Amino acid sequence: MKQLGKASVENIKNDLVNLAKYNSTPENGITRVLFYDEELQARDFIKARMAENGMTVREDAAGNIFGTIEGSEPDAAPVWTGSHIDTVLNAGMFDGTAGVIGGMEALRLIRESGLSHKRNIEVIVYTSEEPTRFGLGCLGSRAMAGELTAADMEEIKDQDGLSFAEVLQNLGHDLNDLQAVKRKKGDVYAAVELHIEQGAILDTKNIGIGIITTISAPTDIKVSVSGTQEHAGATPMEVRKDAMCAAAEIMLGLEGLARNAGDYSTVATVGKVEVFPGSTNVIPGRVDFSIDIRSADMEDKNTLVQKLKAIVKCVEAVRGVCVDLEIVTHDEPADADPRIISLIETACRQSGQSYHLMVSGAYHDSMFVSKFAPFGMIFVPSKNGISHHADEWTDFADIAKGTDILAETLLQLSQE
Ligand code: HGY
Ligand code: MN
Ligand code: MN
């Protein structure tokens, strides 16, 4: 009797270790910035591995890569899995890649099982899940959801002033084909993404699988504080308009709002600060910094943003500085599909796998896929919850267990 085989830990380990070689910071973690050489080489490596695994391979005008195994009704809406291979700076080797490599292995298991399935099943490498190069995450899945137009692509630029559109065109993509990137409800039957947890819940509880109920969504804000650049020694304290102190007050106000927010999932981070002119003996005239707010509760996030604006107004009035807030994105949290959640639960129970229903603090491409398809997410444990760090670690055997659950879920959905 035909049945699904078990995921190969060896395959998963080899692919992840080989993928990790495409890295621009071998001295400190893994860095693969969208469409830089290392990421382009990594894309070629994945495409080759997809082809070796019997998949047809294609890339759309936004750079999303698709590896497909055909079903008996290839025109039926397909079932999707996949994640990303681009990284934050000095990252670990599992964020995103576990879902791409695990997805490829799941499709191999399904194809080699000989079990029939109606729908095509596709494993996708979504373009630029991380905001590393263009300051905005999920570019490929955002474009699929129709929330990143050609005009938006012209507007978002990297640190060298190159727009996302220019970079795509330099790679031979035609932005006139962006219409084909977009998906509407019904175009995709279901999507299930495998990902590392990036937090410590599963590891602490010694549970093998996380099943996501909701993906917390980001609100990214660019803040620019303008004060008066003056001499650090000759300027009395009472006349200063110190942009750095004003920025610090806003940052600590933000932290207080997040610590006292209504929903536990509401968090806030300042990850990037630029001080001008940046001399030790000059009172900063300008400070630019990033704000990254997350929440699974949109109302709670809206409340926090309103209160933040009130703090900014107060700091402007008291310190005589001027603060510009640019809301880069204000995304909605995404709820996983209850039916897909129960399919994953059933797969866990049938294989005797412990599991835990949970919110994802990190965002993922599934957040945008949810705008046109029902989705589910499967988490595997992160050692000590470390992620976005060179020490990020997930056991290959844990990824294999997650892959087994993923393969079972994808097969079920593709047979409906
Ligand atoms: O930041 C995130 O949540 C994701 O890793 N891009
Ligand atoms: Mn990440
Ligand atoms: Mn990720």
Report how far ligand 1's centroid is from the alpha carbon of 364 (Å).
7
Atom of ligand 1 nearest to the CA of 138: 6
Residue 1 pLDDT greater than 90, yes or no: no
The predicted pLDDT at position 242 comes to 98
Q: Over the stretch 15-31, which tens digit does the pLDDT of each residue have?
A: 999 999 999 999 999 99
Q: Say what the pLDDT of residue 12 is.
A: 98
Residues, beta carbon < 5 Å, ion ligand 2 = 95
Q: How many of the other CB atoms lie within 10 Å of CB of 207? A: 18
Task: Report pLDDT digits (tens) over 368-395.
Answer: 999 999 999 999 999 999 999 999 999 9
Q: Can you give the pLDDT at residue 61?
A: 97
Residue 198 alpha carbon, nearest atom of ligand 1: 5
Contacts of 226 (CB under 8 A, 6+ apart): 243, 285, 286, 321, 322, 323, 324
Determine which residue's CA is closest to atom 5 belonging to ligand 1.
Answer: 362
Choice from 267, 368, 388 to test ligand 1 binding pocket (greatest atom count within 8 A of CB): 388
pLDDT value at residue 2: 83
95 Cα nearest atom in ligand 1:
5
Q: Is the pLDDT of residue 259 over 90?
A: yes
Residue 74 pLDDT class (50, 70, 90 cuts): very high
Mutational pocket test of ligand 1: of 130, 379, 387, 392, the residue with most ligand atoms within 8 Å of the beta carbon:
130
pLDDT of amino acid 380: 98
**Relative to the alpha carbon of 126, which ligand is closest?**
3
Among positive and negative, which fits the CA dihedral 338, 79, 332, 268? Answer: positive
The pLDDT assigned to 246 comes to: 98
CA angle 343/101/57 to nearest 5° reads 100
Q: Per-residue confidence at 404, pLDDT binned at 50, 70, 90? A: very high
Output the CA 120–ligand 2 centroid distance in Å.
28
Once rounded to an integer, what is the mean pLDDT over residues 27-36?
98
Q: How far is the CA of 88 from the centre of ligand 2 (A)?
A: 6
Enumerate residues lining ligand 1, CB below 6 A. Answer: 129-130, 137, 362-363
Mean pLDDT for 396-405 is 98
User: What pLDDT score was predicted for residue 351?
Assistant: 95
pLDDT at 243: 98
Tell how far the Cα of 95 is from the centroid of ligand 2, in angstroms. Answer: 6
- Taking CA atoms only, the protein residue closest to ligand 1 atom 6 is 130
Task: Work out which ligand 1 atom sits closest to the CA atom of 218.
Answer: 3
The whole model's pTM is what? Answer: 0.95
**Average pLDDT score over residue span 333-347:** 98
Report the pLDDT value the prediction gives residue 384, as an integer from 0 to 100.
98
Residue 58 confidence class, pLDDT cut points 50, 70, 90: very high
Atom of ligand 1 nearest to the CA of 96: 5
Residues near ion ligand 3 (CB < 5 Å) are 95-96
For position 18, what pLDDT does the model report?
98
What share of the chain has pLDDT > 90, as a percent?
Answer: 99
Q: What is the mean pLDDT of the chain?
A: 97
Q: pLDDT (tens digit, 9 = 90+) per residue, 167-176?
A: 999 999 999 9
pLDDT in tens, 146-191: 999 999 999 999 999 999 999 999 999 999 999 999 999 999 999 9
From ligand 2's centre to the CA of 84, what distance in Å?
Answer: 9
pLDDT digits (tens, 9 = 90+) for 302-320: 999 999 999 999 999 999 9
How far is the C-alpha of 381 from the C-alpha of 205, rounded, in Å?
10
SS (H, E, C) the chain: CCCCCCCCHHHHHHHHHHHCCCCCCCCCCECCCCCCHHHHHHHHHHHHHHHHCCCEEEECCCCCEEEEECCCCCCCCCEEEEECCCCCCCECCCCCHHHHHHHHHHHHHHHHHCCCCCCCEEEEECCCCCCCCCCCCCHHHHHHCCCCCHHHHHHCECCCCCEHHHHHHHCCCCHHHHHHHCCCCCCCCEEEEEEECCCCHHHHHCCCEEEEEEECEEEEEEEEEECCCEECCCCCHHHCCCHHHHHHHHHHHHHHHHHCCCCCCCEEECCCEEEECCCCCEECCEEEEEEEEEECCHHHHHHHHHHHHHHHHHHHHHHCCEEEEEEEEECCCEECCHHHHHHHHHHHHHCCCCEEEEEECCCCCHHHHCCCCCEEEEEECCHHHCCCCCCCCCCHHHHHHHHHHHHHHHHHHHCC
Q: Which atom of ligand 1 is nearest to the CA of 364?
A: 4
pLDDT level of residue 364 (50, 70, 90 thresholds): very high
Q: Are 377 and 364 spatial neighbours (Cβ–Cβ below 8 Å)?
A: yes
Calculate how far, in angstroms, residue 395's C-alpha sits from the geometric centre of ligand 2: 18
With pLDDT > 70 as the criterion, what percentage of the chain qualifies? Answer: 100
Give 380 Cα–ligand 3 centroid separation in angstroms: 12
Q: How many angstroms does the Cα of residue 319 sit away from the middle of ligand 1?
A: 34
Structure tokens at 10: 């060896």
